[in-house]
């Protein structure tokens, strides 16, 4: 009796690389063009913009979690004490980062914002050394020394302390460190962070809307319909790139994604110089060149180390 040979079921083909690249580029393009959007909100107090952004981000992420079927947000196990404490800390640092960025855009300091995000990976490396006791290679020490030299030149040679850039770099590096020890992913983590911050943000919105007599003296969500839509859009625009980025990380190698991330400060730099006409003389150029060279050394060393580990 003859038996038929069963053919193996065809394996699903992996998602095309171009899809992951398109998703990553979409996320980085949105982040890079943030200054254009937040310039539209520059006439509103930065604290109100921050509070509104927090509330609407929470609303949008909550709806996304429901649409994705992520019903664990209703389970008690999702809110473990250790997780909540970590997310409280990361939420606070994230709020600082958002607030500093909003201030930088509103006072025409997008160039400093760009510098801050160029410096962020180097600040993360510094935290790794002093907090996690990591042992960097010689090239990374050189990169950190160059970055410090660039900032030192701006402080000593020009007499200008780039507080906004330092605050952005430091807060983003601290945020990355906290998220590294968090058990939550990007979307679920943002949900919990904004869930923790939203009550405080909403309380502030109500506070500034109340007049001296305790009655509503100003609209809760923007003085005009245009402002209202822009404030709501700030929440959507905050969460949407994260969705694209989270999907892109599953389709691309992290090394490639890590290189693409420098498109964000590069886009902000181009906007600052060529769209917003912020001053960029030789004094600032020295600082940026130091940071750029430091980044080249840092990225090259990271890629070399990753390649060496893969060969083991």
Residue at 252 is within a domain: yes
**What is the predicted pLDDT for the residue at 268?**
94
Residue at 127 is within a domain: no
**What is the predicted pLDDT for the residue at 60?**
94
Q: Which tokens belong to 212?
A: 């001296």
The tally of domains found in the chain comes to: 1
What mean pLDDT is predicted for residues 207-235? Answer: 74
What CA–CA distance (Å, rounded) separates 273 from 49? Answer: 25
For 83, residues 6+ apart whose C-beta sits below 8 A from its C-beta are 182, 183, 184, 192
State pLDDT tens for residues 89-121.
999 999 999 999 999 999 999 999 999 998 888
What CA–CA distance (Å, rounded) separates 85 from 92? Answer: 11
**What is the predicted pLDDT for the residue at 1?**
46
Q: Residue 47: give the domain boundaries.
A: 19-116+163-278
In this predicted structure, the answer to whether residue 188 has a pLDDT above a threshold of 70 is yes
Average pLDDT of the residues of the chain: 84
In this predicted structure, the answer to whether residue 284 has a pLDDT above a threshold of 90 is no
What CA–CA distance (Å, rounded) separates 221 from 227? Answer: 8
**What is the predicted pLDDT for the residue at 247?**
80
Contact criterion met (CB below 8 Å) for 281 and 43: no
What is the percentage of the chain residues whose pLDDT exceeds 90?
41
State pLDDT tens for residues 46-75.
999 999 999 999 999 999 999 988 888 888
**What is the predicted pLDDT for the residue at 135?**
79
């Amino acid at each position: 009796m003859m038996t038929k040979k069963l053919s193996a079921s065809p394996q699903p083909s992996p998602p095309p690389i171009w899809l992951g690249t398109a998703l990553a580029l979409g996320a980085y393009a949105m982040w890079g063009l943030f200054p254009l959007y937040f310039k539209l909100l520059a006439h509103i107090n930065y604290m109100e913009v921050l509070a509104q952004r927090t509330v609407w981000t929470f609303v949008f992420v909550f709806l996304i979690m429901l649409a994705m079927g992520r019903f664990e947000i209703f389970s008690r196990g999702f809110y473990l004490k250790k997780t909540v404490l970590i997310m409280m800390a990361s939420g606070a640092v994230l709020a600082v980062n958002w607030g500093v960025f909003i201030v930088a855009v509103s006072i025409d300091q997008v160039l400093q914002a760009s510098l801050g995000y160029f410096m962020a990976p180097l600040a993360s490396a510094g935290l790794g050394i002093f907090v996690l006791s990591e042992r960097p290679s010689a090239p990374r020490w050189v990169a950190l020394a160059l970055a410090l030299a660039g900032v030192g030149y701006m402080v000593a040679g020009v007499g200008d302390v780039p507080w906004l850039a330092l605050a952005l770099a430091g807060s983003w590096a601290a945020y990355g460190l906290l998220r590294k020890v968090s058990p939550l992913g990007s979307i679920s983590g943002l949900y919990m962070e904004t869930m923790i911050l939203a009550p405080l943000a909403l309380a502030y919105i109500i506070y500034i809307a109340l007049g001296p007599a305790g009655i509503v003296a100003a609209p809760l969500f923007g003085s005009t319909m245009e402002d209202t839509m822009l404030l709501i859009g700030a929440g959507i625009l905050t969460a949407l790139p994260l969705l694209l980025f989270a999907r892109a990380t599953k389709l691309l190698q992290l090394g490639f994604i890590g290189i693409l991330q420098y498109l964000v400060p590069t886009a902000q730099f181009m906007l600052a110089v060529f769209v917003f006409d912020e001053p960029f003389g030789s004094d600032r150029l020295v600082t940026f060149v130091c940071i750029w060279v430091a980044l080249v050394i840092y990225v090259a060393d990271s890629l070399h180390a990753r390649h060496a580990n893969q060969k083991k």
